[in-house]
């Protein structure tokens, strides 16, 4: 039985286990090759976050989606590399925009070097992903380009914030669908497409990818507050300290506006203060862990994962379908 860490996904079928393990090993090797440069410094920076680890959630989804066709088809591993390289590139850019100091338990590239190096490294990784996807054909290029457009649009939506009259929670879910869901949807789509799966199956796996991707991010939101460890690769409460309005915060503000309880209003006031102060930050984190808004966000995560599981219903029963269903449980478990 394979357990994919840190998601805790169990793969119980021996043949599926062998395919997933072999595929992920090939992806890891290809990622190392794809991030090499003739300029040693470029190689060092490009492999900085790669060597720090990561969940490899997107390559895993590619491998599972490919089970509905030929999982050993030549385009499967490269498509997983494309998706993971694109994801890595966005991390370098995100850390610059967020002024983050830590990523995956190591200093972020912008903290270790500087913003210019981090931005250019992200661009380098995008370029390498583009070169690989070009070898997969024009349809793959179009899929990648559309996802990249949605990803950037999601980032802009986050930067500009909701317009007057927009519901902040609906706006936030749109942001997540663009920034996170779109690329995970591509993982499902390319895995199925490159393996030669039927079009109906490909559509289902694309929809599933977007939904499980949203659940994955919502679980991260909950984990940022609820975890005492470094499960998310960041210090707990990082989003709070940086003033990032994730789903638990938005649920709190909605409750405060709707009910106006002294407890809710007091926590909102603390949130609006200086959370770079360690004592204040610790107080907010402790209060939030006991607040109903965090449980609301957990329920949102479970509901989103259940919706992803329901999308799989038309697929034929097989070990890969079971694994995709179990992946919904693994994602929710992270937020538990």
Q: Strand pairing partners for 4? A: 9
- CA 118 to chain centroid, in Å, comes to 19
DSSP 6: T
Q: What percentage of residues in the chain have a pLDDT greater than 90?
A: 51
Distance between CA atoms of residues 207 and 87, nearest Å:
19
Decide: helix, strand or coil at residue 161. Answer: coil
What tokens does 49 get?
A: 């976050």
Longest Cα–Cα distance in the chain: 61
Burial of 255 (0-12, 13-18, 19+ CB in 10 A): buried
What is 14-197's CATH topology? Farnesyl Diphosphate Synthase (1.10.600)
Choose between 55 and 254: higher pLDDT: 254
Interacting residues of 220 by C-beta distance below 8 A, sequence separation 6+: 232, 334
End-to-end CA distance of the chain: 23
Mean pLDDT of the chain: 87
Which pTM does this prediction carry?
A: 0.89
Interacting residues of 118 by C-beta distance below 8 A, sequence separation 6+: 45, 92, 93, 95, 96, 108, 109, 110
Q: Which CATH number fits domain 200-336: 3.40.50.300, 1.10.600.10, 1.10.3720.10, 2.40.110.20?
A: 1.10.600.10
pLDDT of residue 107: 65
pLDDT digits (tens, 9 = 90+) for 116-164: 878 888 889 999 999 999 999 999 999 999 999 999 999 899 888 888 8
Distance between CA atoms of residues 297 and 293, nearest Å:
6
DSSP 68: G
What tokens does 289 get?
A: 């862990």
Across 283-288, average pLDDT: 88
Residues of the chain with CATH 1.10.600.10: 14-197, 200-336
* CB-CB neighbours of 316 under 10 Å: 8
Strand residue runs (E) in the chain? 2-4, 9-11, 102-103, 106-107
Interacting residues of 275 by C-beta distance below 8 A, sequence separation 6+: 240, 241, 243, 281, 284
Decide: helix, strand or coil at residue 10. Answer: strand
Q: Strand pairing partners for 107? A: 102
Q: Strand pairing partners for 102? A: 107
Distance between CA atoms of residues 46 and 38, nearest Å:
12
Distance between CA atoms of residues 193 and 186, nearest Å:
10
∠ CA(135), CA(137), CA(143), 5° rounding?
110
Q: Do residues 270 and 280 touch, judged by C-beta distance below 8 A?
A: yes
pLDDT of residue 283: 87
Distance between CA atoms of residues 175 and 227, nearest Å:
24
For residue 66, report the phi and psi dihedrals to the nearest 5 degrees. -70, -15
User: CA distances (Å), 220 to each of 63, 112, 156, 172, 180, in order?
Assistant: 23, 24, 20, 14, 11
pLDDT of residue 101: 65
Across 225-238, average pLDDT: 67
pLDDT at 76 over 90: yes
């Amino acid at each position: 039985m394979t357990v994919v860490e840190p998601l805790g996904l169990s793969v119980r079928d021996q043949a599926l286990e062998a395919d997933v393990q072999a595929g992920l090993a090939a992806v890891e090797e290809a990622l190392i090759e794809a991030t090499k440069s003739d300029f040693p410094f470029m190689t060092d920076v490009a492999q900085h976050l790669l060597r720090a680890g990561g969940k490899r959630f997107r390559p895993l989804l590619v491998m599972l989606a490919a089970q509905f066709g030929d999982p050993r088809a030549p385009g499967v591993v490269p498509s997983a590399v494309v998706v993971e390289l694109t994801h890595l590139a966005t991390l370098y850019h995100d850390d610059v925009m967020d002024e983050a100091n830590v990523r995956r338990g190591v200093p972020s590239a912008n903290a270790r070097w500087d913003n210019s190096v981090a931005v250019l490294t992200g661009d380098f990784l995008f370029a390498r992903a583009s070169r690989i996807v070009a070898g997969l054909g024009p349809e793959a290029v179009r899929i990648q380009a559309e996802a990249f457009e949605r990803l950037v649009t999601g980032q802009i939506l986050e930067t500009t914030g909701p317009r007057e009259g927009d519901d902040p929670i609906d706006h936030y879910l749109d942001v997540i669908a663009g920034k996170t869901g779109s690329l995970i949807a591509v993982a499902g789509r390319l895995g199925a497409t490159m393996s030669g799966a039927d079009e109906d199956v490909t559509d289902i796996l694309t929809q599933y990818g977007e939904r499980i991707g949203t659940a994955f991010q919502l679980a991260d939101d909950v984990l940022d507050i609820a975890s005492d460890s470094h499960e998310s690769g960041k210090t707990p409460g990082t989003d709070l300290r940086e003033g990032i309005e994730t789903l638990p915060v938005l649920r709190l503000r909605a409750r405060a506006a709707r009910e106006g309880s002294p407890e809710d209003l007091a926590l909102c006031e603390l949130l609006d203060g200086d959370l770079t102060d360690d004592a204040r930050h610790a107080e907010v984190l402790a209060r939030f862990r006991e607040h109903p808004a965090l449980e609301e966000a957990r329920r949102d995560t479970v509901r989103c994962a259940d919706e992803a599981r329901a999308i799989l219903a038309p697929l034929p029963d097989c070990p890969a379908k079971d694994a995709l269903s179990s992946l919904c449980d693994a994602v929710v478990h992270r937020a538990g």
